[in-house]
Structure 1
Amino acid sequence: MGLSLLDRVAGAVVRTARSIAVLHRAGLVPVPRLDEAVRSMILTRRYGPLAGSVRIAARRSPHSVGLVDERGSLTFAQLDLRSNALARALARRGVRASTTMAVLCRDHRGLVLTLLAAGKLGVPVLLLNTGFATPQLADVVARENVGVLVHDAEFTDLLGGIAGVDRYLAWTDSDAATSPDVPLLDDVIAGADDHPLPAPASPGGFVLLTSGTTGAPKGAPRPKVSALRSAEFLDRIPLRTGEATYFGAPLFHATGISQFILSCALGCTVVLRRRFDPEATVRGVAENRCTALVVVPTMLQRILDLGPEVLARYDTSSLRVIFVAGSALAPEVGNRARAAFGDVVHNVYGSTEVAIATVATPQDWARAPGTVGRPPVGCHVALYDDEGRRITTPYVTGRVFAGSGLAFTGYTDGRAKDTIDGLIATGDVGHFDAEGLLFLDGRDDEMIVSGGENVYPVEVENVLLAHPGIREAAVIGVPDEEFGQRLKAFVVVRDGSTVDADAVREHVRGNLARFKVPRDVEFLDALPRNSTGKILRNALA
């Protein structure tokens, strides 16, 4: 028992030392100025990782650009002062630490200022998915006991049936009709004092929502965490202080908000756009000399589909990191990105509940396309069979369980994910190769049993995507009297392609076992996806 305790203590010491080294390498630990490091830790502890980081940046580099959106730029000092004013105005209107604030916004300064103001008041913020329909939004707002709702004018009709909640408009186009009963954040900020506020009793944190693709979206709280936890993202991803990051992934998504907070902590310029547009993205990277681009796989694919001629118009040589997360990155897409942008793609695996689990560096990807890599410092991943026994043999598929210092402790409704040995089920199945690199074989609830053979759709989909005439593909199981289930493929072909059903089946037959060949093939103009690019398999039949 004593040895086990010593082992745990020794492990914690080693992880802490490694984390500090990682933070120092990224520029977050200014060893020559320990007083600055201590002051930063105090501000982060008081206001949370986001509002605290912006206050730190405003103190160190007040005139540096902190945010760029479609309305121009704001310095860190402007972000700090305007969020002070908004926080004071909200407090005068009755917002307290016990109030739950929800935001339904695109990516822009209004959303950022709201998040900062909430941090300064110690108010928890619920990040609503802009792709949800009215019933989902109404259910979530009621379940999470939302008291204040900040939204863009475009969502006014969508929220028409939600009553008993104070509202504010974060963004409205010049020609949009607004109600005098719903004040604009710009007006609220303009009429308030922008002096600093006293620190709240405790930071409010965030509540993220699961995608809701398999049921009602669940709330996953993200309370304040130690600054050392930033090392989990920085260990295998070379983000550095004082650079610039372009966000394609929306901030309501775990990928977007985690990297947004980290970018602010690094004192980086954050470049936002309300709606993702592939060419506007590469243009924004070039114009702002961004060193990092944060996207989900479908966004990366749409950028690559612009073609070499369009990509060549923009100088993206400043990019050192393309941060890809949110769903599986197909080998074909990752390889195309490597050819187009060089060795900059970092394939990140995690979940709303776990946060980060593994990272595949460009070197990992070059050696093993399709891998999601290894766990960074402070993270752990293990595979288990259906009886809960740990799998240590390479190439044997099992359920993926992961843990990190950023993992949640349970949903807001009291439910929790399955856990083994302190690790949380991700819902995926996968295997390690002989070098310890993790590969995902599919979702544990998407396995298709056809004629007694187990098939995971992602394997077949990756083969289909490697066909030069296929742009998108999804595979599901449909009922079959003889085999129980049979495979059905939904395919989106590239412009000008003449791929037919026989060619699709022949392509799979030439690369996989016969029982993995789809018997049915249906051609679509586009696959149904949610706002973060995940395929809505329930909409396929």
Structure 2
Amino acid sequence: MPAQHLLTKIADTAGAVRVMNRSGLVPFPRVDQGIRSLLAVRKYGPFAGPVHAHAEARLDAVALIDERGPLTYIDIDEQSNALVRAWQAEGITPGSVMGCMCRNHRGLVLTMLAAAKNGTRLVLMNTGFARPQLVDVAAREQIEAFVYDDEFRQVAETLRDDVTSYRSWAEDGSASQVRTLDDLIDGVDRGPVPAPSTEGGFVLLTSGTTGTPKGAPRGHTSPLASAQFLDRVPLRRGQTMMMAAPAFHGTGVSQFALALALGQTVVMHRKFDPENTIRLVEKHRCDVLVVVPTMLQRIIDLGPDTLAKYDTSSLTIIFAAGSSLSPDLCKRTTAAFGHVLHNLYGSTEVAVATVATPADLALAPGTAGRPPVTCHVELYDEAGQRITEPETVGRIFVASGLSFSGYTDGRDKERINGLLSTGDVGHFDRNGLLFVDGRDDDMIVSGGENVYPLEVENLLADREDVIEAAVIGVEDADFGHRLRAFVVPAPGSAKDAEEMKAYIKSNLARYKVPRDIVFIDELPRNATGKLLRRALIEMEP
């Protein structure tokens, strides 16, 4: 290992330990607790291990609250032990591959814990999947068993015709003959289970906005990697977290795993509703709210009168990740809740790249922030040369201890000097803050000029008469492509397309002005809030 790389590794390790100690994840000076936690992580992995350690220490805390009520750390540890034994009796052995299509509730949590303890690879399916996507992913990942919510029964049962040696269980009451998880664990021994002979892990799926989602596996990682999230986000022991983001995706599962490691209480609700989310924050005095940006947008769009009905003064952290935050949404969130917004930028493949703190967002609304400890971000041009000049746009590459090693189908993202491509382009300003300018493949060439839609979208979203906007390129005989903007107007707005074009022209270069502005009720998005640009391309103007 080159000397510089060794020094970087030593500095990263020392920084990670300091961060974890500050957050309470490394319980100095209680060495006995630290040793117990490390042994549990070694036995069951970084997700189930801390839960087992808390249960062994008889932690007197509620781990989870869902529509069915509270479960303690001892409850979820023991129930997941029973589920491991039940699965093993059904032939699910270490090394098996399972799928799960569940919303946020105890069934998903127990499935995730039991899979880790059983040494099972768990593929976390998107709850927005239709039959073709589910069948394609299940076949590619070689899924042998499936856990699902009853609402997805018709989609899930199509797998019976496509997957050999297939078994399935419903999380809740099913009209079919499939047994529920409650049935499986009823009367089963709940004592500790032996360590699995092989490591389990999650397969997170990419958003699939351009085709069938790819699988990004996550095996056992170093406990030090948790410092990436804790360095710039003040998550601490004893907090209560409202998990609004779907726990099957990277944002949700990463923050849920941290909450469990810190012994926090996590509040979940099956389906997201903006006002109900705020109601639950008030009811449970939540310190932390985890959302994807579209959820945050819907909460803010409730308006000040509705938000004022609920006491959300307990909130010290709103954690948003999954897609870009417009400057307008950053400013409106701060106006509604104070300086509590933290914006994480990363991807399913690289995990964490940068985090913007409230101070960063006050200085530069919309920024992606700075790399936390153990993360390194660099920009490269098309020739693979590193960009060091501020304000110069380049392709974003990241080194992170949580980055994946390649997709499950054998493909990989581009790598340069040990850093992994995010697929985005961006720039650093003169304060060292990162700004994401858009997806590399979203760039539109119009009349020989390069346009990244995000710049136009953010400008439109900053208007009071616009809720949100999306810009795409459509073919044009003269310019190759021209811009078309889809705008979700605010209630009662004038919907004046020509005035909006004039506004864009007065703020941006002429070639960035959309030829068409189309008003629609809502932008098409998938279950994790990602914009479906393909669906916009297929829309009639």
If the length of structure 2 is used for normalisation, what is the TM-score? Answer: 0.97
Matched, 1:57 2:54: yes
3-state DSSP of counterpart to 2:279: helix
- 2:479 corresponding residue in structure 1: 483
1:99-248 map, 5 Å: 99-163=96-160, 164=164, 165-172=166-173, 178-180=175-177, 182-248=178-244
- The alpha carbon displacement at 1:494 in A equals 1.3
- Opposite residue 168 of structure 2, the aligned amino acid is R
- The alpha carbon displacement at 1:503 in A equals 2.1
1:406-485 map, 5 Å: 406-485=402-481
3-state DSSP of counterpart to 1:317: coil
- Does the 8 Å contact 1:249/1:296 carry over to 2? yes
- The alpha carbon displacement at 1:61 in A equals 4.4
Structure 2 CA distance for aligned equivalents of residues 212 and 311 of structure 1 = 34
Matched, 1:375 2:352: no
Range 143-152 or range 153-162, more displaced? 153-162
3-state DSSP of counterpart to 1:475: strand
Range 56-65 or range 315-324, more displaced? 56-65
- Opposite residue 51 of structure 1, the aligned amino acid is A
- Residue number among 26, 30, 38 corresponding to 1:41 in the alignment: 38
Structure 1 CA distance for aligned equivalents of residues 488 and 369 of structure 2 = 29
- The alpha carbon displacement at 1:171 in A equals 2.4
Structure 1 CA distance for aligned equivalents of residues 527 and 305 of structure 2 = 28
- Opposite residue 145 of structure 1, the aligned amino acid is Q
Structure 2 CA distance for aligned equivalents of residues 8 and 397 of structure 1 = 26
Structure 2 CA distance for aligned equivalents of residues 12 and 35 of structure 1 = 27
- Does the 8 Å contact 2:95/2:198 carry over to 1? no
Matched, 1:73 2:74: no
- Opposite residue 95 of structure 1, the aligned amino acid is I
- Does the 8 Å contact 1:126/1:208 carry over to 2? yes
When the two structures are aligned, how many residues end up with a matched partner? Answer: 533
- 2:318 corresponding residue in structure 1: 322
Matched, 1:398 2:394: yes
- Does the 8 Å contact 1:467/1:507 carry over to 2? no
3-state DSSP of counterpart to 1:349: strand
3-state DSSP of counterpart to 1:394: coil
Structure 2 CA distance for aligned equivalents of residues 333 and 360 of structure 1 = 14
Structure 2 unmatched ranges of 5 or more: none
- Does the 8 Å contact 2:148/2:156 carry over to 1? no
- 2:94 corresponding residue in structure 1: 97
- Residue number among 6, 11, 29 corresponding to 2:3 in the alignment: 6
Structure 2 CA distance for aligned equivalents of residues 511 and 285 of structure 1 = 39
- 1:530 corresponding residue in structure 2: 526
Range 312-321 or range 54-63, more displaced? 54-63
- The alpha carbon displacement at 1:184 in A equals 0.6
Q: Can you list the C-alpha shifts for 1:206-244, whole angstroms capped at 9, x where unaligned?
A: 000111111111100001111111101101110001111
- The alpha carbon displacement at 1:252 in A equals 1.0
- The alpha carbon displacement at 1:403 in A equals 1.5
- Does the 8 Å contact 1:469/1:494 carry over to 2? yes
- Does the 8 Å contact 2:457/2:471 carry over to 1? yes
3-state DSSP of counterpart to 1:221: strand
Structure 2 CA distance for aligned equivalents of residues 346 and 199 of structure 1 = 37
Runs of 4+ in structure 1 deviating by more than 4 angstroms, as ranges, are: none
- 1:21 corresponding residue in structure 2: 18
- Percent identity between the aligned chains? 57
Structure 1 unmatched ranges of 5 or more: none
- Opposite residue 116 of structure 2, the aligned amino acid is G
3-state DSSP of counterpart to 1:463: helix
- The alpha carbon displacement at 1:499 in A equals 2.1
3-state DSSP of counterpart to 1:260: helix
Structure 1 CA distance for aligned equivalents of residues 100 and 388 of structure 2 = 43
- Opposite residue 525 of structure 1, the aligned amino acid is D
- The alpha carbon displacement at 1:7 in A equals 2.8
- Does the 8 Å contact 1:242/1:269 carry over to 2? yes
- The alpha carbon displacement at 1:327 in A equals 0.3
- Does the 8 Å contact 1:46/1:202 carry over to 2? no
- The alpha carbon displacement at 1:319 in A equals 1.0
- Does the 8 Å contact 1:47/1:202 carry over to 2? no
- Opposite residue 228 of structure 2, the aligned amino acid is E
Q: Can you list the C-alpha shifts for 1:29-61, whole angstroms capped at 9, x where unaligned?
A: 111211211121111121011111111222334
> Residues 440, 209 of structure 1: CA spacing in aligned structure 2 closer, same or farther, 3 A cutoff?
same
- Opposite residue 169 of structure 1, the aligned amino acid is A
- The alpha carbon displacement at 1:510 in A equals 2.4
- Does the 8 Å contact 1:451/1:483 carry over to 2? yes
Structure 2 CA distance for aligned equivalents of residues 195 and 186 of structure 1 = 17
- The alpha carbon displacement at 1:452 in A equals 1.3
